[in-house]
Amino acid sequence: MNEQHTGHEHTGWQAEMKVLLREPPLLISITVLFLLFGLFIIYPFIKILMVPDAEHWMRALTAKEFLEVFSHTLFSSLVATTTAIIFGFIFAYAVNYTNMPGKRFFQIVALLPTMAPSVVTGLAFIMLFGRRGFITWHVLHLQTDLYGPVGLWVAQTIAFFPLAYITISGVLKSISPNLELAAQNLGARGWYLFRTVTLRLATPGLASAFLLVGINSLADFGNPMLVGGNYHVLATEAYTQVTGAWDLPMGAVLSVFLVIPTLLVFFVQRYYLEKNSYVTVTGKPVAGLIRVTAGPVATWCFFAFCAVLCAAILMIIGVVFLFAFTVAFGADYTFTLQYFREGVVQSKVLLHSWSASMITAATTTILGIALAFLTIRKHFPGRTVMDFLAMLPVSLPGTFIGLALILAFNEAPLELTGTMAIIILGMTLRQLPVGYRQAVAGLKQIDASMEQASANLGANSFTTFRSIILPMLKNSLSVSFVYAFMRSMNTLSTVIFLVSPEWNLASINIMSLADQGFLPTASATAVGMMLTIYLTFGIVKLILRDKINIFDL
């Protein structure tokens, strides 16, 4: 961290410790946070490593079935990530670099899938292209079977395209338009300009986006479960081992293997890509200058591409709605509310999902700001460890977190299995990095001199925090609240091991209903979920009266 931000001139942990001992409240909160981290992050992860014995590890590394699962996982996520990134890049480029009509519409449609669990893509895929799929069976009269790698590839590409688009759009926006203007000024244009400037500047960001999407598709659980068929990947295999074969240690081994690549990605990103980013050395963009670099022909090609992609997304959302509100879509088109009643009104799952996600969002937001304040503004021994632990869960697949938690907390004194608490705990762990990263980004934008000014005018640390920092962070806090809420609502892999018959969640219910063939009810639940997310956004927006716009990316 930056030395000059704190105004302290002490260095070395002994000096830092001395400062800390003079501020008991600070010392206490740091200690409490470390204890929480120890109990809820470090302990479960040690536990999950201790449960399997040598024989399990050997079997996972030698048995043919598991080796096949490894290669499936790597292969399927690699191809899906590649296509999702290519689609996302073209889309983001079209939105940021052309004058094509309907940009706003495209932007909104592209983000629609993020408001629903990624498994909805799989659900729609079954309904459209499955054995009795609307298009394959009813329209084309084909007897195809797209379950397996191809189906998984298509479903995951669509499911992870929005994430790729959001990330890459952020990367493109961070490129100073001045650089492209300078290149144009020197005579460069079209493909040459793109190749020598835009693409080169975006490369580190693209690599980051690739890794991010890669982690997500690697750890994806719902789509492989629904459309993967017999094509097993690590996440689904771990689940099958635990729930089908009752082989908990084997499940643990597999989920640990799932962590290895994601941890690797985490380290690459943290210690290599961020240091090699060009974004920080470019000047501030000039207001009012809109970069338009694509010619008319290219613009219409981009338009066609975006239109096709958006049509696919709308078809997915549309088919979910149609299945939810007709008696038997494809055969009987009579309107009905029966499924909606079954899946939403009479079911408690949505309420469970909503309350767990709200609690998670509040917790991670508050925890995130507290952690960020400590790591950015205070010097204390173990600061980098705290920063590392707060970011670590971002690289941990949900199945791993879930499994680690049930292994760690299934006996007294901390018997949490089968409770709402363990669900919230899992969600909170998973979302903590989101809240933390937002708060860090927000805090870094607030100059430390403002806090010093407040202190100089006689305010103590607490007053400064409440009256200066919190109001200035309002926007980034509401963003992290909303994202944590949305992602908790939609998560499947984190909670798959944590739910119980008593405390079931909507995302899980959609998947199991779809898996058992109750497609209309699954669709109705998905519709209910999307509506719940939209409504909650609306309410949060009204309460906070902020200007954040989730579609404004």
**At closest approach, how far in Å is the CB of 197 from other proteins?**
6
Kindly tell me which residue out of 105, 192, 267, 534 binds other proteins, with binding defined by CB under 8 A: 192
- Which of 15, 19, 49, 181 touches other proteins by CB under 8 A? 181
Q: Identify which of residues 38 and 190 has a Cβ nearer to other proteins in the complex.
A: 190
Q: Is 488 in the site for other proteins (CB under 8 A)?
A: no
278 is an interface residue for other proteins by CB under 8 A: yes
Q: Does 200 participate in binding other proteins (rule CB under 8 A)?
A: yes
Given 90, 179, 307, 459, the residue binding other proteins (CB under 8 A): 179
CA triple 472-475-481, angle to 5 deg = 125
Q: Does 82 bind other proteins (CB under 8 A)?
A: no
Half-sphere exposure of 393 (CA within 13 A, CB side): 29
Which residue stretches of 326-446 are H helix? 338-340, 349-377, 383-391, 398-408, 420-445
Does residue 186 interact with other proteins by CB under 8 A? Answer: yes
CB contact at 8 A, 340 and 524: yes
Q: Where are the strands (E) in 421-538, listed by range?
A: none
Q: Is 183 in the site for other proteins (CB under 8 A)?
A: yes
Closer residue to other proteins (CB): 196 or 500: 196
Which segment (192-200, 251-259, 385-393, 505-513) binds other proteins by CB under 8 A? 192-200
Q: How far apart are CA 333 and CA 495, in angstroms?
A: 35
Whole-number minimum distance, CB 202 to other proteins, in Å?
A: 10
Q: Is 288 in the site for other proteins (CB under 8 A)?
A: yes
Q: With respect to other proteins, which residue has the nearer C-beta, 168 or 386? A: 168
Of 174, 210, 193, whose CA–CA distance to 89 is shortest? 210
Number of chain residues interacting with other proteins (CB under 8 A): 25
**Per CB under 8 A, does 98 bind other proteins?**
no
Half-sphere exposure of 62 (CA within 13 A, CB side): 6
Encoded tokens for 175: 């490129």
∠ at Cα 13 (12, 16), nearest 5°? 95
Q: Is 233 left (phi over 0), alpha (psi -120 to 50) or beta?
A: beta
Is-contact 184 168, C-beta < 8 A? no
Given the rule CB under 8 A, which of 145-153, 196-204, 348-356, 390-398 is the region that contacts other proteins?
196-204
**Pick from 201, 309, 310, 482: which binds other proteins (CB under 8 A)?**
201
Of residues 64 and 275, the one with the C-beta less far from other proteins: 275
67: amino acid identity, one letter: L
Nearest-approach distance from CB 445 to other proteins, in angstroms: 20
Instruction: Report if residue 196 touches other proteins, rule: CB under 8 A.
Output: yes
Contacting other proteins (CB under 8 A), which of 29, 144, 184, 512?
Answer: 184
For residues 193 and 301, which CB has a smaller minimum distance to other proteins in the complex?
193
Q: Decide whether 203 or 419 has the Cβ nearer to other proteins.
A: 203
Please pick, from the candidates 108, 289, 351, 539, the single residue that binds other proteins as defined by CB under 8 A.
289
* Residue 278 near residue 204, CB atoms below 8 Å: yes
142 binds other proteins (CB under 8 A): no
Assess 174 for contact with other proteins (CB under 8 A). Answer: no
179 versus 414: smaller Cβ distance to other proteins: 179
Contacts by 33-36, CB closer than 8 A, 24 or more apart:
33/370, 33/371, 33/374, 33/386, 34/382, 34/386
- Contact segment (CB under 8 A) with other proteins among 70-78, 128-136, 277-285, 533-541 equals 277-285
Max CA pair span of the chain: 78
Q: Label residue 293 exposed, middle or buried (CB < 10 Å: 0-12, 13-18, 19+).
A: buried
> Nearest-5° angle of CA 384, CA 388, CA 392?
175
- Neighbour tally for 517: CB within 10 Å: 11
- Position among 197, 259, 324, 389 found at the interface with other proteins (CB under 8 A): 197
Region of 46-54, 275-283, 297-305, 407-415 interacting with other proteins (CB under 8 A): 275-283
Among 178, 336, 410, 417, binds other proteins (CB under 8 A): 178
Which helix (H) or strand (E) element contains residue 170? helix 149-174
Instruction: Answer yes or no whether residue 195 interacts with other proteins by CB under 8 A.
Output: no
**What is the Cβ-side half-sphere exposure of residue 105, based on CA atoms within 13 angstroms?**
11
Question: d(Cα 155, Cα 159) in Å, to the nearest integer?
Answer: 6
Cα distances (angstroms) measured from residue 183 to each of 136, 277, 290, 291, 518: 49, 20, 15, 12, 57
Identify whether the C-beta of residue 403 lies closer than 8 Å to the C-beta of residue 485.
no
Stretch near other proteins under the rule CB under 8 A, chosen from 179-187, 321-329, 391-399, 401-409: 179-187
Tell me the closest approach of the beta carbon of residue 296 to other proteins, in angstroms: 13
Verify binding: residue 281, other proteins, rule CB under 8 A: yes
For residue 297, state whether it binds other proteins (rule: CB under 8 A): no
Which residues contact other proteins by CB under 8 A? 176, 178-179, 181-189, 192-193, 196-197, 200-201, 278, 281-284, 288-289
